[in-house]
Structure 1
């Protein structure tokens, strides 16, 4: 029996709007640790391919976290960020996505700028969904899902329960005005009246939402990243 595979999609965007603050893709160490420890095979892609920047603020925030420190210092994980594959390698290519059980969008503010509007990313999510695979995202990663439409023209998230980085959390990090939109607002818009945006009882609390029979997994913030990794692992291994 072959090990399950997950396609991880990172941002190619490395600056925050007009303020020029460096950004990138945090929230990867704990899901990586969960999945890699269970022998799940990971392939990393991004809109442009090549290097995907790591958010400097996430490095500072994780300075006391052993898993994050090991992840950032390990020679084995460097290729994950330095040599991502372009999304064009997978879009419109059923044989390329066939080996994968899930697609996963980690967080960072970058996805708010590129993955949210990338037509290639949207098509790839739709192809995974149409193939019955798992779609997962955490923190700002759900930005990649807000504009995805299905073949019938409906929103992917319509009628579902989801979570993501909240307006209150964005305000607390002082980046509300730097964002092209507020993720919580866009998620609520995509969900519509029949779904539901869920969040932890307090900002920065862990919240993981699993919906659509396990096919849609979202996490609210960095504290939810490990839980999202665990949910992905639980569901894809049950399907093998």
Structure 2
């Protein structure tokens, strides 16, 4: 918990930069992270951002004309994503998987993503996703081997 007494929401974005055989750039959809971040923070809910590889993940649908996008783009914390597999998941009350085409390549088969889903769900937390983010749930299994 933080000073507000609320456990943060873990926001997860893809680390995958290339889309399919044509080799087109991809990543996560900026607006599918920034708009929910704005809602969470306006409600006083703290957030942390992570990706499979950490660092600065690839963006897709980059648009700074939207004020919420520009606000987060200017915030240094937005550019310091943590490595998903390194996190203490007991600190989070929910996980939110942002969309974008890159999720189709690295979410469904990632052991770190599967662990996040399993641990947060089994602790009574919320597992959520938007647009292509539900690709995360394709192989999501619980500790007993059943699918989420």
Q: Does 1:22 align with 2:25?
A: yes
1:125 correspondence with 2:123: no
Which entry has the higher C-alpha Rg, 1 or 2? 1
- Residue 89 of structure 1 corresponds to 86
- Which TM-score applies when normalising by structure 1? 0.55
Q: 1:79 to 1:132 in 2, by over 3 A?
A: same
Whether 1:105 and 2:110 are equivalent positions in the alignment is no
Q: Distance in 1 between matches of 2:77 and 2:58?
A: 12
The number of equivalent residue pairs is 141
Structure-2 separation of matches of 1:124 and 1:3: 19
How well do the aligned residues superpose, as a CA RMSD in angstroms?
1.6
Question: What is the CA-CA distance between 1:3 and the residue it aligns to?
Answer: 3.2
SS in 1 for 2:59: coil
Alignment of 1:100-179 (within 5 A): 100-156=92-148
The whole-number CA distance in structure 1 between the counterparts of 2:34 and 2:143 is 34
Q: Which of 37, 44, 54 pairs up with 1:39? A: 44
Measure how far apart 1:29 and its partner are: 2.1
Large movers: runs of 4+ above 4 Å: none
Question: Per residue, is there more helix in 1 or in 2?
Answer: 1
- Gaps spanning 5+ residues in structure 1: where? 64-68, 91-95, 157-240
> Relative contact order: is structure 1 or structure 2 higher (C-alpha 8 Å, sep ≥ 6)?
2
2:5 maps to 1:2: yes
Secondary structure at the counterpart of residue 53 of structure 2: coil
